[in-house]
């Protein structure tokens, strides 16, 4: 896998930085998480094709439509890559460490010098060999209790902050001076062998490796009487990456309206201002309206469509889409220069998970060169004017349609 | 031009290696060599559009379809690049030397230390200048006789193995210690000048250059009384490359069913197990059925469609396609998780050669998100759900549809 230690290559932004011109025009990007789907076996229609979406369909008629590939054909993106891609950041270049991503997911506020690791409670036998990498997927409540045992230690001046995630998963944050993330995992990724010692990949990370091994030793002592979770495994040690901000790249003043920690964390990573989303989908739209004069780029994130897909609840996903549809007139009324609707990836209810299928996208602006599509769906967008685009091309298109890009070359 | 001496960059496989998960699901890739075509001047229909293909058309109705670019628009691929691309190996990165390709084409079993070169019998005048680079395209039988004159020499411990190919073409293999392929061609690529001396590009190849020049001197002596083939030209000196195996890249256990040496050689290069194809198209399908339980990826190669196209025999190409069509139910009966049909390139009968035209592709799986295409043809696939894809993206898509890839990023 591409290493997070590779310095993020920002060369790709040179062109866009060069031609971006700040202006008062406004872009609204509505992300219906996991919006793409697969047909229901009985009706042969996807969630989006099943939902009654008069407003989205009308918008499609005024838009240029297409299908977008978050990473590349066949690749199922996680939330991180899916969103980075939409924001124009190549997800194969802008890598977020596993530990950091886990911390973002629980809304943990990482400091610049923190090193975060993704942790698993696991089971080991008397010989110290891992017998279950997930300790039987212990309930989240037990996890929370066990985290307290590991939290708040001082190891040679480094403080440990341990927070539960879900089931057997937790985040371990190491806070102190002179820590670097370039260390190997203790997770052997298989059973029947002992956890591995953490070792430094670069000499600057030797202190981190030492502290991590010390933490693991103490954790084994602290958990020795607990079954089945009598040990921990750590992986994906990483520091908060420093990505160029959208303001710097695009000359935008961007704001995010997102309820879930993961998406707020991702938005923050690319320099968006986080607005208070309120509770529920309607509230999110109202937040946008309220702050409409204060920013020129809005990322409006709807999570429930993805959750419904992940749960395999076809009908609930349909309902979420219909609720979003009912709120579209509120966006129309604001008359943004660019109003775009898409997802960060597909989450077909029949697969109960994210998937690799391309995502419908539509972009409405005065200058969009409309196509003949007048329905927002997977099959209709197939014949749209955008064709099949990498999701990373969405932002340049949105910028162009907002007349925020000048000519390249004389 | 890109040099074969550039080390093959395997970095692109890092992502796929990371997310590939072995499973029992099965992928069948049917390659109808040169399947894409151009319209017959009288009917305006291509070979594929002319053929009666009820089974392929029915499969198209259950598939996601599209057009695939073996290399990039406008580039006509040889068999090597066309197939490597389908197997997911970027043909601009994974370069097979001309000598090695020629050896693969005649089924010559290259050893690891062998250096192979592509040879031409040519004509030179009294001043030693090349007057015909192909010696009037001498008949293959004469070629075979002349090869015997050059075969089996011992030049300072290096054995020469010379085998005829077709007309004026042959393969020269140098077998011995301390040989390297990084030497220049003797073929000046034009007439009116003498053959060039072979020189080493790297110091490690100096012995090879010396042996090659010695061989050329002896060849001139041996052929001096023969007209018009009184000399030879060598080019494309190369060793058998070491590509990562498909097993290693994709976690697959792949098998190839191909009758012709070139395709067997290419399959072997990417680590496929070679099955005995039997004689004829029907036998190849039966071989697949017989070994269906033993592997999880099958490359089934049909050569005759390409040969017919190369011969300019439109009707024979139509007949080959119809024969393949009649055997499709045999594949359907096996119920593979992914059944895909495509070509490695187009071979329009009206051009009598490989061409640059994109190739129809269809992929049938439970999760493929079908499109509205219900005919397997160039024009119908144009509106397919896959759109226009680089052929290198086929394997990730097939892997995804067989649920053999996990998520990228959390």
- Residues A24-39: pLDDT tens digits? 999 999 999 999 999 9
Fold of domain A13-95+243-401: Alkaline Phosphatase, subunit A (3.40.720)
> Cβ(A238)–Cβ(A254) under 8 Å?
no
With beta carbons under 8 A apart, name residues in chain B contacting A105. Answer: 410
Q: Which two tokens stand for residue A200?
A: 């430094």
Is B369–A39 a contact, with Cβ atoms under 8 angstroms apart? yes
* % of chain A beyond a pLDDT of 90: 91
Nearest chain A alpha carbon to B406: A76
Average pLDDT over all residues of chain A: 94
* Mean pLDDT along residues A152-157: 97
Average pLDDT over residues A123-130: 96
Instruction: Say yes or no for a CB contact (<8 Å) between B396 and A39.
Output: no
Q: Mean pLDDT over residues B39-62, rounded? A: 98
Give the fold, CATH level 3, of A100-238.
Alpha-Beta Plaits (3.30.70)
Note the pLDDT of residue B370: 97
Residue A189 pLDDT: 86
In this prediction, residue A4 carries a pLDDT of: 37
For the record, the structure tokens of A96 come out as 């977020």
In the predicted structure, residue B113 carries a pLDDT above the cut 70? yes
Residue A322 to residue A331: CA distance in whole angstroms: 15
Of A74, A78, A101, the CB nearest to B405: A74
A246 CB-near residues (< 8 Å, 6+ apart): A87, A252, A254, A270, A271, A272, A297
A1 has a pLDDT exceeding 70 = no
Both structure tokens of B161: 């193995």
Q: Is residue A291 over pLDDT 50?
A: yes
Cβ neighbours of B410 in A, within 8 Å = 78-80, 98, 101-102, 105
C-alpha A331/C-alpha A303 separation (Å) is 18
* Full-model pTM: 0.89
Put the strands of the sheet holding A27-32 in their side by side order: A273-274, A254-257, A297-302, A27-32, A338-342, A359-365, A64-69, A387-390
CB nearest B385 (choices: A82, A96, A382):
A382
Range in B61-70, B90-99, B206-215, B364-373 with the lowest mean pLDDT: B90-99
Nearest to A74 among B370, B387, B396 (CB): B396
Q: Is the pLDDT reported for residue B11 higher than 70?
A: no
- pLDDT of A217 above 60: yes
Dist. CA B331–CA B28, nearest whole Å: 8
Tell me which residue in B18, B398, B405 faces A76 most closely, judged by beta carbons.
B405
**Does residue A153 contact residue A147 with C-beta atoms inside 8 Å?**
no
Residue B10 has pLDDT above 90, yes or no: no
How large is the average pLDDT for residues A243-270? Answer: 95
Q: Do A80 and B410 make contact, defined as CB atoms within 8 angstroms?
A: yes
Would the CB atoms of B407 and A76 count as touching at under 8 Å? yes
| Chain B residue closest in CA terms to A262 | B410
Q: Do A91 and B408 touch (CB under 8 A)?
A: yes
Interface-testing mutation among A47, A95, A356, with chain B (most B C-beta atoms within 10 A): A356
Among A73, A103, A345, A383, most B C-beta atoms within 10 A, so best to mutate, is: A73
Please name the residue of chain A whose CA is at the shortest distance from the CA of residue B15: A1
Query: Do A77 and B18 make contact, defined as CB atoms within 8 angstroms?
Result: no
Contact A91/A81 with Cβ under 8 angstroms? yes
pLDDT higher than 80, residue A377:
yes
Chain A residues with CB under 8 Å of a chain B CB are 1-2, 38-39, 67, 71-82, 91-92, 96, 98, 101-102, 105, 348, 350-351, 353-357, 378-379, 382-383, 387-388
With CB atoms and an 8 Å threshold, state whether B410 touches A77: no
A66 alpha carbon, distance to own chain's centre: 22
Assign A410 a pLDDT band (cuts: 50, 70, 90). confident
Contacts of B401 in chain A (CB under 8 A): 74
Q: How far is A3 from chain B (nearest CA, A)?
A: 10
Identify the pLDDT of residue B157: 97
Q: Could you give the angle at the alpha carbon of A357 between the alpha carbons of A354 and A359, nearest 5°? A: 95
* Alpha-carbon span A168 to A143, nearest angstrom: 6
**Do strands B158-164 and B231-238 pair parallel, antiparallel, or not at all (unpaired)?**
unpaired
pLDDT > 70 fraction of chain B, expressed in percent and rounded: 97
pLDDT for B56 equals 98
Alpha carbon of B359: minimum distance to chain A alpha carbons (Å):
17
Architecture in CATH for domain B13-94+243-401: 3-Layer(aba) Sandwich (3.40)
Contact A190, A205 (CB under 8 A): no
Chain A, chain B: beta-carbon pairs less than 8 Å apart: 87
- Could you tell me which residues come within 8 angstroms of residue B279 by beta carbon, excluding any fewer than 6 positions away? B259
Nearest residue on chain B to A72, alpha-carbon basis: B393
Q: Among all residues of chain B, which has the CA nearest to that of A382?
A: B385
Mean pLDDT of B37-58: 98
Average pLDDT in the B48-54 region? 98
Per-residue pLDDT, averaged over A345-350, amounts to 98
**Which among B399, B400, B410 has CB closest to A98?**
B410
Q: How far is B398 from chain A (nearest CA, A)?
A: 7
Residue B57, beta-bridge partner list? none
User: B9 falls in which pLDDT band (50, 70, 90)?
Assistant: very low
Taking an 8 Å cut-off on Cβ atoms, the answer to whether A75 and B410 are in contact is no
Q: Chain B: nearest CA to A276, how far in angstroms?
A: 24
Gap from A384 CA to chain B (nearest CA, Å): 11
Give chain B's contact residues with A (Cβ, < 8 Å).
14-15, 17-19, 367, 369-372, 383, 385-389, 393, 395-401, 405-410
DSSP-derived pairing of the beta strands A64-69 and A27-32: unpaired
Would the CB atoms of A78 and B369 count as touching at under 8 Å? no
Query: Taking the domains of chain A in order of start, what are their residue ranges?
Result: 13-95+243-401, 100-238
pLDDT 10s digits, B303-352: 999 999 999 999 999 999 999 999 999 999 999 999 999 999 999 999 99
User: Is A9 a residue whose pLDDT tops 50?
Assistant: no
For residue A8, what pLDDT band results from cuts at 50, 70 and 90?
A: very low
Q: Residue A73 is nearest to which of B371, B396, B409, comparing CB atoms?
A: B396
What's residue B12's pLDDT? 67
Give the distance from residue A364's alpha carbon to the nearest chain B alpha carbon, in angstroms. 23
Nearest by CB: B407 against A2, A67, A354: A354
Q: Which residues of chain A make contact with B15, given a CB cutoff of 8 A?
A: 1-2, 75, 92
Find chain B residues with C-beta within 8 A of A351's C-beta. 367
Closest chain B residue to A97 measured between Cα atoms?
Answer: B409
Written as one string, the DSSP assignment of A347-390 is --TTTTS-B---EEEEEEETTS---S--S-SHHHHTTSTTEEEE
pLDDT band at A6 (very low <50, low <70, confident <90, very high): very low
The phi and psi torsions of B328 (rounded to 5 degrees) equal: -55, -40
Q: Report whether pLDDT(B63) > 80.
A: yes
CB contact under 8 A, A78 and B397: no
Residues A124-151 as b/e (b if ≥16 CB within 10 A, e otherwise) read beeeeebbbbbbeebeeebbeebbeebb
| Closest B-chain CA to A348 | B367
Handedness of CA B28, B32, B33, B39 (dihedral sign): negative
User: A297 to chain B, minimum CA–CA distance in Å?
Assistant: 26
Q: Which residues of B touch A81 (CB under 8 A)?
A: 408-409
The span from the CA of B353 to the CA of B349, in Å, is 7
Residues of B in contact with A92 (CB under 8 A): 15
Nearest Cα to A346, choosing from A375, A324, A316, A378? A378
Q: What is the DSSP string of B198-241?
A: P-BSSGGGHHHHHHHHHHHHHHHHHHTT-SS--EEEEEEEEPPP
**From the centroid of its chain, how far is CA A400?**
25
Percent of chain B surpassing pLDDT 90: 93
Which chain B residues are within 8 Å of A1, Cβ to Cβ?
14-15, 17-18
ipTM > 0.85 for the complex: yes
Contacts of A102 in chain B (CB under 8 A): 410
Minimal CA separation from A76 to chain B, in Å = 5
- Can you give the pLDDT at residue A105? 87
């Amino acid at each position: 896998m591409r290493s997070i230690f590779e310095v993020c290559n920002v060369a790709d932004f040179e062109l866009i930085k060069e031609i971006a011109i700040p202006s008062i025009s406004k872009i609204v990007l509505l992300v219906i998480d996991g919006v793409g789907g697969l047909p229901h076996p009985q009706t042969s229609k996807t969630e989006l094709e099943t939902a009654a979406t008069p407003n989205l369909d009308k918008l499609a008629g005024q838009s240029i439509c297409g299908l977008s590939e978050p990473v590349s054909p066949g690749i199922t993106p996680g939330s991180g890559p899916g969103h980075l891609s939409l924001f124009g950041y190549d997800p194969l270049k802008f890598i977020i460490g596993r530990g950091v991503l886990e911390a973002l997911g629980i809304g943990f506020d990482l400091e610049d010098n923190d090193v975060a690791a993704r942790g698993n409670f696991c089971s080991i036998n008397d010989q110290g060999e891992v017998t279950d990498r997930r300790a039987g997927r212990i309930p989240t409540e037990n996890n929370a209790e066990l985290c307290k045992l590991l939290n708040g230690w001082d190891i040679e001046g480094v403080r440990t902050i341990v927070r539960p995630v879900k089931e057997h998963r937790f985040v371990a944050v190491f806070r102190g001076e002179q820590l670097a993330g370039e260390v190997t995992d203790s997770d052997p990724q298989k059973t029947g062998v002992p956890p591995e010692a953490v070792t430094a990949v670069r000499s600057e990370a030797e202190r981190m490796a030492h502290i991590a091994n010390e933490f693991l030793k103490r954790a084994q002592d602290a958990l020795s009487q607990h079954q089945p979770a009598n040990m921990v495994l750590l992986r994906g040690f990483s520091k908060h990456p420093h990505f160029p901000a959208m303001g710097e790249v695009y000359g935008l003043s961007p704001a995010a309206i997102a309820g879930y920690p993961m998406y707020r964390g991702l938005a923050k990573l690319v320099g968006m201002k986080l607005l208070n989303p309120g509770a529920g989908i309607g509230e999110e739209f109202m937040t946008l309206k309220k702050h409409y004069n204060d920013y020129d780029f809005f990322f409006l994130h709807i999570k429930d469509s993805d959750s419904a897909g992940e749960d395999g609840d076809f009908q609930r996903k349909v309902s979420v889409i219909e609720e979003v549809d009912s709120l579209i007139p509120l966006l129309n009324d604001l008359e943004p220069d660019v109003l775009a609707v898409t997802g960060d990836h597909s989450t077909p209810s029949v697969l109960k998970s994210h998937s690799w299928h391309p995502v419908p996208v539509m972009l409405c602006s005065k200058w969009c060169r409309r196509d003949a599509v007048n329905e927002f769906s997977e099959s209709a967008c197939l014949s749209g004017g955008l064709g099949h685009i990498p999701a990373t091309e969405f932002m340049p298109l949105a910028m162009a349609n907002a007349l925020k890009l000048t000519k390249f070359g004389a």
